[in-house]
Chains A and B, each alone.
Chain A
Amino acid sequence: MASIARSLRLARLSAVSATIRAPAYRAVFIRPFSVTASNAIRKYTKEHEWIDISADKKTGVVGISEYAAKTLGDIVYVELPEEGLEVQAGDAIGAVESVKSAADIYSPVACKITQVNLLLEEKPGTVNQVPEDDSHGGGWIAKVQLTEQGLKDFEALMDADAYAEFTAAESDH
């Protein structure tokens, strides 16, 4: 995700950060219908993507954060990457359009795209509703296979607490 969160001064921005600071925010990670959440580790980028990786640290799921989804406003189109695409951390793997703005989505880690969420082609608004849901019907963007470098990239990302602090600081900006 681009630095959109910082960039879009919506009136409701303060409300967004309030939500993020509130303990209820944690509920996102322990949703019972989230298939991998129970044993997955989730981390975040400064560009507002998240990535879950599996217990064996070989595969992952990528999406954009709740904070980013709220700040962007109504998402009307999601451009998905092509399956099989191999990328480095920071490469564009898609884009979302909301309120006349095309914003890039960046890969959090070096990886290969193994599956894309075709549901978003039909229902882009899913990203607004459940951006951090990695289950069937959720707003995840792509499933990936991590490379060795990808795992190193992952280690360097922010955990949920660090990301919450980061976004709080950003919206106070």
Chain B
Amino acid sequence: MFHNVDPPSCGSHALGINHKLRFSPKLVTRYFTQNLIRPFQIYRSASSDPYVNLSIEHHLLQSSPPDSTILFLYTNRPSIVIGRNQNPWLEVNLRLLRDGLPTSESQDKKQPIALVRRRSGGGTVFHDKGNTNYSVICPPAVFDRDRHAEMVARALRKLGVPHRTCGSRPGGGVRVNERHDIVVDILSPSGGMFKISGSAYKLTRTRALHHGTCLLSSPNLGSVSALLRSPAEGFIKARGVESVRSPIRNVNVGTEEFVDAVVDEFCDMYGVEDGGKEVLVIREEEALATEGINKGVRELTDPEWIFGQTPLFTFSTHPTEDDPRDRPPSLLAQLPHDFQGRITVRHGEIQSVYLSLSDDPFNMTDPSPLSQVLAKERLHHISDWRAVLSKAVSEAPLSDAFDVEQVGMWLNRMFGIPEPVEGQKERSLSEEVVRAIQESKLGMWLSK
């Protein structure tokens, strides 16, 4: 396979994952071979790990018979999930992500947030325990982008949404909009259209997958907007897919009642009799003991997938022909006067770097001396731009020396590299992701 679609399996040994997990085959096969032959199958994951749940889903997509239809429901711990062809430096405030979410227990204790790149298309979404995801895998012949969003919208209506969402204010109803998302309309003057569920799809030769979020009762909605706003937004011109920002809202429905209502609606839609209405619960240890799922987890947790799959992008401190926007003056003010810079990155790998105090660095000789030194460095492997620039400048002296310390700190901020702490080793984004996974429950499972 090629590098930017399926992540290499080699990178994950850094996670300390033991790929040869010992498992009892009978547990596994009971779920995935006996049940997989049924025409309609309903699964619920007991895991709250986003990498595990997306890998169970991918395994169902790849292993189920072409004519079967599958409903899979899962709830993740706090995560930011970017689309297959998105840019984490553009979509996510990586420093805030690393800080985690506040907990009700104490100010100091924070809940970690996982950074995930999924295999389907579409934009960035936030997940936590107050958000439940539905996924329908079906034959391409019956697939339609709205079909299963409508199914979930019907379930929500039966649960009393939008009334429960809007309280005493007049609700205009639950509907699937032109972006195939589920929204509620609130008709009061302070109301408007609120997104409660976002859709994304993955199409293979024989199967079609539609999955969507549903915000039921997230306690973290106040944090989402800042988490999904990168400091580098005003400087990055990216290929691939940019998210469309929407105001969001909880529908105020419990997880269990949502799951039951969606299962009922799925069974009604496909004429599944009560006898066949069986929801199989998949436990994390069973999932991880299934080879296809274990492989999927290894791929999704590989930093080369999370960061290295990023489509070509250019970071530029000044307007260019390709990206003529005015740059944020407050951020530019933190740079030396007359400083200009442009960095091009393809699949996480630096292609060119122009940093200069001259009026027009973009007409400098090509490749620039810095490009010659820094090309092929991986952006997510950089742990401190100050060190990178000092080294590069010593190898390729610049005619117009700028303050490497000041520019380095600024680039660290823009690219979400953790603020260096005195006496601690700096960590790159790649190392941060690996550490976060190792410290999660998944890391403990995988290192067993």
Contact = CB atoms under 8 A, between A and B. Distances in A.
> Do they bind each other?
yes
Interface of A: 2-4, 6-9, 47, 76-77, 79-82, 85, 90-95, 97-104, 106, 121-122, 124, 173
Contact of B241 (A9, A76, A85, A104): A76
Interface string B1-29: 11111100000000000000000000000
Contact of A92 (B5, B121, B180, B311): B5
B122 interface: yes
A90 B203 CA distance: 15
Nearest to A93: B2
B273 to A, nearest CB: 27
Interface string B379-420: 000000000000000000000000000000000000000000
Interface residues of B, number: 35
A116 to B, nearest CB: 9
23 contacts: A3-B205, A6-B140, A7-B140, A7-B143, A7-B144, A8-B145, A9-B144, A47-B205, A79-B5, A80-B4, A81-B5, A85-B2, A91-B1, A98-B121, A99-B145, A100-B83, A100-B120, A100-B122, A100-B199, A101-B122, A102-B119, A121-B312, A124-B239
A92 to B, nearest CB: 6
A17 to B, nearest CB: 16
A13 to B, nearest CB: 11
Nearest to A2: B203
A100 B85 CA distance: 10
Contacts of B180: 99-100
Given A77-B239, A100-B200, 14 more contacts: A3-B203, A7-B140, A7-B143, A8-B145, A77-B85, A79-B85, A81-B2, A85-B1, A90-B205, A92-B1, A92-B6, A98-B121, A100-B83, A106-B205
- Which A-B residue pairs are the 10 nearest by beta carbons? A7-B140, A100-B122, A101-B201, A2-B203, A3-B140, A82-B2, A103-B203, A7-B143, A102-B121, A97-B121
Contacts, number: 107
Interface in B105-157: 119-123, 140-141, 143-145
Contacts of A124: 239
B145 A97 contact: no
B241 A2 contact: no
A97 B241 contact: yes
B38 interface: no
